[in-house]
Structure 1
Amino acid sequence: MQYIDNLIFVIAIAVGFGLFFKSLKEIYRNIKLGKEINRSDQASVRWKVMGKVALGQSKMTKRPIAGILHIFVYVGFVIINLELLEILVDGIFGTHRFLAGVFGASVYRAFTATLEVLALLVIIAVVIFFIRRNFYGVKRLTMKELFGWPKQDANWILIIEFALMMAFYKMNAADWVLQQRNILPPHGSFPISSNTLGLLFQNFSDGMLHFTERGAWWFHIIGILFFMNYLYWSKHLHIILAFPNTWFSNLKPKGQFNNLASVTQEIKLMMDPNADPYAAAPEADPNAVPEKFGASDVFDLNQVQLLNAYSCTECGRCTAVCPANMTGKKLSPRKIMMDTRDRIEEVGRNINKNGKFVDDGKKLLDDHISREEVLACTTCNACVEACPVLIDPLSIIVELRRFMVMEESSMPHEWQLMNNNIENNAAPWQYNQADRLNWVTE
């Protein structure tokens, strides 16, 4: 019977991790649909940024209460799942509390007691988050882009985390009672579960206690495997992707836009009186596809921008500080990221179905993100500054706007006047070039 349990455990682990890595492989493929971008410079700085922002949660604490509670969940959940190593060894080899023999009695007691305290902090945090998200009425958590699945997803994650922590306590409590009856060796210290559920389990029979302990043990590991594979469908994919996302973040000053190489080259030729404008032009190729300005679909965005979309946790801090959104305009930076991710997933399903991407007649611009949203942005960078994992919604908005202006000449009348003035007068205002510097003497 023992070997059957071990075999079932190994199969469950193999299936769980196999599906997980299959999902990661698909996400990686989808991200690679974007244009290549070199973000490998200043490696030491990037490691520091990742350590500070992703691991150290430095930007989360700018909202202290939510930040501290998030740290409780983050640190507690990660450290508690260090026990996953023990569960893996025990499940494969049929041992019981393997780490007790590795750590020694005193260290293992401190280890298990610490896990119990952290589990309590996780439970407190997820309960507060659930109440805050569903009953407290925080504006950024009740916006229309969260209606339906996004809200359900957030709640399911909190429920799963609560259930896993309760299973952890249930397992420890049953184990503790069996230890008191000298049925199991005295390994570990359980200050919380022994004084709560442990008291309730005192009247259980030995068989019922074994069933309870094993049931909670299996629920815990199956729950972890389920949670791990649920991440692909959830906004909580940031648990994994926040680390590469912060590492590949833009280190340039906020507000510094990238220049298009083709435009830069053309301007250099125009400004150089000795340049031969035909010398730099490649030979005409009837099959060559002209370079596209800006982006109309996810294929036109770079790979870091697609990684940004997958890393978004839909917290809404970006939208909460967006001046356009504050004044009632349609723009929500969070929705920009959600829509980008939805389009990537739509393209991914297309590839899965056809073996390659087959034109579906849809684009990111218009079919997912409206032009009204794109034009509402003031490019103030507030959304970029607010993001706790350094996502850059503004860069996507700018690329969509570039496509509209440079490829379609689609812009508001006021922009058209300004561009005409710059072209004719070398200034945004409508007056003679000779008068451009008159403001200096006024």
Structure 2
Amino acid sequence: MIQTLLFILLLGVTGWFAWKGYGRVWRNIRLGKAEKIEDHAAERWRNVLLVALGQQKMFKNWLPAFLHLFIYVAFLITQIELIEIFVDGLSGSHRFFASALGGFYTFVISFIEVLSVLAFIATIIFLARRNLLRIPRFRKPEMKGWPFRDANLILLGEIILIVGIFSMNGADTVLQTRGLEHYRPTGAFAVSSWLGPALFGQLGDGALMAIERFGWWLHAITVFGFICYLPYSKHLHILLAFPNTWYARLTPKGEMENMPEIQKEVRIMMGLDQPAGDAAADLPEFGANDVFSLSRRNILQAYSCTECGRCTAACPANLTGKKLS
């Protein structure tokens, strides 16, 4: 009963912080000018599936792409287990779906564990890339400070989440072999079936229960903390990549839109047109002088930035090596 009340309290606090954080992002995007973009729906959905979900652009550099894919897929599939945590937390049950799904439940949790191992390996490599290897684009001025700390925080959070998963499943696996009524057999999980006995096999029932609950709460708190933190992180692109890809321009790269104001000024300078009346009374506005001059799509694109440093690394002016800004 106490655990259920604590979980409801945690859920309420998470909901409040999430409402504040995501609400701020939503309001900021809506400060821009509305655009009606409904053309070529089939092509837009195709881009969403290939670019946002399939991470097509990542595979221009195959090694980081596969490592990122491990973390991304593990993040998505792990949310299946999060559904069970919600149900167990609110109802006080334990592995609510195990009896109903039978062998399929064992397969799903085993799949999550295998993905978690791959994600753990990828996370360690990414931490080394950012902190030990001197990769040039990670050493640029714009990649230092908050972007550097933000990336490390998320990677450390991934490790904490994986520790929670294997602490929970490993201790649970050992408890199942001891005939305790609360811990009913769920089948042999791919990793925990041998990792659990290896780490926790010599511990007493009380210690195992404490470790299992520790892993369960660590998993829940880490995920809820991530939900609250996401609106302030570059990793908001996990969510916004989908609408951002949908609203992306479909015209060829480098193709410019016709801007009547600029066209008019150029024609006047070339003597093809004459200025109408008092030109000073109706000066055209070029560019954006504040957020209200931007479109909602522009602001969405800014929030979707992954802060990876690739744009700077590919910039011809930056490649000169001169200090430009």
Calculate the TM-score normalised by the size of structure 2.
0.91
- 2:79 maps to 1:86: no
1:50 pairs, out of 43, 48, 51, with: 48
Alignment-derived partner of residue 420 in structure 1: none
Asked if structure 2 preserves the Cα contact closer than 8 Å seen for 1:49 and 1:247, the reply is yes
- 2:66 maps to 1:68: yes
Q: Distance in 2 between matches of 1:25 and 1:291?
A: 34
Q: Which amino acid aligns with 1:49?
A: N
Deviates further, 36-45 or 116-125: 36-45
Q: Which amino acid aligns with 1:145?
A: E
Alignment-derived partner of residue 304 in structure 1: 297
> What's the CA shift string for 1:258-313, capped at 9, x where partnerless?
22244557889999x9x9997xx9xx9xxx98652112333322221211111111
- 2:93 maps to 1:95: yes
How far did residue 320 of structure 1 move? 1.6
Asked if structure 1 preserves the Cα contact closer than 8 Å seen for 2:98 and 2:105, the reply is yes
Asked if structure 2 preserves the Cα contact closer than 8 Å seen for 1:140 and 1:320, the reply is yes
Alignment-derived partner of residue 190 in structure 2: 191
Asked if structure 2 preserves the Cα contact closer than 8 Å seen for 1:36 and 1:303, the reply is yes
Alignment-derived partner of residue 181 in structure 1: 178
User: Structure 2 vs 1, CA of residues 29 and 64 (structure 1 numbering), >3 Å: closer, same or farther?
Assistant: same
1:160 pairs, out of 157, 160, 168, with: 157
Alignment-derived partner of residue 36 in structure 2: 38
Alignment-derived partner of residue 228 in structure 1: 227
User: Structure 2 vs 1, CA of residues 206 and 81 (structure 1 numbering), >3 Å: closer, same or farther?
Assistant: same
Asked if structure 2 preserves the Cα contact closer than 8 Å seen for 1:100 and 1:188, the reply is no
- 2:308 maps to 1:315: yes
Q: Which secondary structure does the structure 1 equivalent of 2:39 belong to?
A: coil
2:288 pairs, out of 258, 271, 295, with: 295
Asked if structure 1 preserves the Cα contact closer than 8 Å seen for 2:81 and 2:109, the reply is no
Asked if structure 2 preserves the Cα contact closer than 8 Å seen for 1:173 and 1:190, the reply is no
Q: Distance in 1 between matches of 2:197 and 2:129?
A: 31
Alignment-derived partner of residue 405 in structure 1: none
Q: Which secondary structure does the structure 1 equivalent of 2:206 belong to?
A: helix
Calculate the TM-score normalised by the size of structure 1.
0.68
Alignment-derived partner of residue 127 in structure 1: 124
> What's the CA shift string for 1:297-344, capped at 9, x where partnerless?
33322221211111111111212211111112445xxxxxxxxxxxxx
Q: Which amino acid aligns with 1:68?
A: F
Q: Distance in 2 between matches of 1:19 and 1:289?
A: 46
User: Structure 2 vs 1, CA of residues 180 and 330 (structure 1 numbering), >3 Å: closer, same or farther?
Assistant: same
- Output aligned runs, 1:395-434, within 5 Å: none
Which structure has the larger Rg? 1
Q: Distance in 1 between matches of 2:248 and 2:224?
A: 30
Q: Distance in 1 between matches of 2:317 and 2:265?
A: 34
Q: Which secondary structure does the structure 2 equivalent of 1:136 belong to?
A: coil
Q: Distance in 2 between matches of 1:321 and 1:172?
A: 44
Q: Distance in 2 between matches of 1:46 and 1:17?
A: 32
2:146 pairs, out of 145, 149, 152, with: 149
Q: Which secondary structure does the structure 2 equivalent of 1:98 belong to?
A: coil
Alignment-derived partner of residue 324 in structure 1: 317
Asked if structure 1 preserves the Cα contact closer than 8 Å seen for 2:71 and 2:122, the reply is yes
Structure 1: state its 5+ residue gaps: 332-372, 374-442
How much is the aligned-residue C-alpha RMSD, in angstroms? 2.5
Structure 2: state its 5+ residue gaps: none
Asked if structure 2 preserves the Cα contact closer than 8 Å seen for 1:76 and 1:118, the reply is yes
2:108 pairs, out of 106, 111, 120, with: 111
How far did residue 229 of structure 1 move? 0.9
Q: Distance in 2 between matches of 1:130 and 1:59?
A: 22
Asked if structure 1 preserves the Cα contact closer than 8 Å seen for 2:150 and 2:234, the reply is yes
Which structure is higher in RCO with an 8 Å CA cutoff and minimum separation 6? Answer: 2
> What's the CA shift string for 1:153-212, capped at 9, x where partnerless?
111110000110111001000000000111111014323223224322112111111111
Q: Distance in 1 between matches of 2:94 and 2:195?
A: 23
Q: Distance in 1 between matches of 2:138 and 2:266?
A: 46
Q: Distance in 2 between matches of 1:140 and 1:197?
A: 41
Q: Distance in 2 between matches of 1:20 and 1:199?
A: 39
Alignment-derived partner of residue 428 in structure 1: none
- Output aligned runs, 1:201-350, within 5 Å: 201-263=200-262, 291-330=284-323
Q: Which amino acid aligns with 1:194?
A: S
Q: Distance in 2 between matches of 1:98 and 1:146?
A: 44
Alignment-derived partner of residue 172 in structure 1: 169
Q: Which secondary structure does the structure 2 equivalent of 1:82 belong to?
A: helix
> What's the CA shift string for 1:19-62, capped at 9, x where partnerless?
21321111011112223333332122111101110001111111
Q: Which secondary structure does the structure 2 equivalent of 1:159 belong to?
A: helix
How far did residue 254 of structure 1 move? 1.1
Q: Which amino acid aligns with 1:10?
A: I
Asked if structure 2 preserves the Cα contact closer than 8 Å seen for 1:113 and 1:188, the reply is no
Q: Which amino acid aligns with 2:320?
A: T
